[in-house]
Every structure is written in structure tokens, then in C-alpha cells.
Structure 1
Amino acid sequence: MTFEQVRTEPDPYAPYLLSQAIRLENLLFVSGQAGYGDDGAIVGREDFDRQADQAFRNLQRALIAGGSSLDKVVKVTIFLTSMKHFGKIVELRRKWFSAPYPADTIVEVSALYTPDAMIEIEAIAIATTNSQGEKS
């Protein structure tokens, strides 16, 4: 078995010695994606909707970099700093995923990696292409 590190550009997680994702043959394990912009800073401080939308965009970018896509996600774990946003998560799942929807765990946590972060999404997906876009 071989595995490879998946990188995105920009990669704001590099200073923390994290991989955006790890690909193990046709499985892709994506690290938690928060609502950070290209500069690594959280977008929309205290604005859950902006952060959540950006977190899904960042998830999509990491999936594509690893040879997958949102429709190949089989499991997500969503970390929230408040369950009051649960309804918004259901709405976003409808926007970003399609049937059959991935298995999901939603967890409320007291804090994420920075006090400004309100959401983080990690995923496991099937990878069907290599980094050049060719079927694997």
C-alpha cells in the first residue's frame, strides 16, 4: 500500500505540520477544513454563515486536489462551537452534497484551533482520479 500527501494552494495548514489530505490508494482522508481564506485568516469573524460556506469551499478544494469530489464523500465529521447552527448545517448539506448523502457526525466542541473558528469539516472520500485528472 502506498499513501501520498495532498497539498492545496494556498496551504495555510503547512506551518502546523498538517497535511490537507492523505491519499491511501483510492481513499482520501481530508483534514478538518475551517472557514479560512487564502491568507489563512478566518473569514467573517462571528459570521457562521460565511465561515460555513468557506469551510465547504475549502473541503471541495482539498477533495479536488486529492482526485475526488463532493459527490464521492462517504463520511464527514462536522465540528461546531455551537449546536444552534445545526439547522444551517442541514441546509448546507443539501447545497453541497447530493443523494446518497454521506454518513455524518456532528459534534459540538468548546473550541477549535483558533478562537475565531466556528466550524471545521473533515471527510473521507473515494478518489477516482490522480493529480493530473486521469482515472485511477
Structure 2
Amino acid sequence: MDRYLLVSTVNVYREWPTDPLTDDSPLREYQPVGPDGEAVTDQYGREKVGCEYAVTSALENRSLIVRPGVILGRYEYVGRLPWWLNRIRRGGQVLAPGEPSWPIQPIDVRDLAGFLLKAAENQLSGSYNTTAPIS
């Protein structure tokens, strides 16, 4: 195999989602089994760190790792974006989860795919966030 591209997640970062992130922010510690009571998002991030280590160990500088946040698009199967857009279209008060000050930084799947194709074409390697920094 000449090159490998891994779509990872911003969940790999130790300080996600509370602190601003850069490509060089510290990652979670990989452990095959996490602590009791570990949150699902923490487990997911820790396991993705393991995937990243496996890829970079096997392929060194012949791999590209991208770390998006929420990926959305027309055929998104989880239903997050379509549900919220349809609910807001109905009008009236909308009860939304979380804090109003919490940022959400989705990326359109078409933009991500375009970046991945161009990166593969140019044989880009390393790891990159595909989510904007929190300002």
C-alpha cells in the first residue's frame, strides 16, 4: 500500500470540546480499555487515537489523518441536520440541547470530500483539523 487516508475526529484531543484546538493540541491517551464510567465521546476519542497510532506506525509519512467535527450533508443518515431544519421551519419556540454559547462547527461532506481528493492527489501527509478553531 502506497498511501493511506484516515478520517478521524476532533474527539481525539484531550481538551475537546472545552478548549480551542490546533493541529498540535495534545491527544487523549490511548488505552485498549478505558476507566469505569467513561463517557461515550471519551471512549470514541480514545479509540480513534489508537486507530491513528496504528496508521502512523505502519505507514509513517505515507498517511494523511483528517480530524473533522460533525460531518453533515444531504444524505446524512443520523438525521441531526434535517430534523433541526424541519423543526425550525415549523416555527414557534424551539427547545435546543446544550448551552446557547456552545459553538457547533459542522463541515459539509462535499467540502470534506473535495479536500480529501485534493490532498490525496497532492500526496499530502500528516494530520489536519478540518474544523475551524473556536474564536
Answer 1 or 2: which has greater helix percent: 2
TM-score of the two chains, using structure 2 as the length reference:
0.27
Answer 1 or 2: which has greater strand percent: 1
TM-score of the two chains, using structure 1 as the length reference:
0.27
> Higher relative contact order by CA 8 Å / sep ≥ 6: 1 or 2?
2
Q: Which has the larger radius of gyration?
A: 2
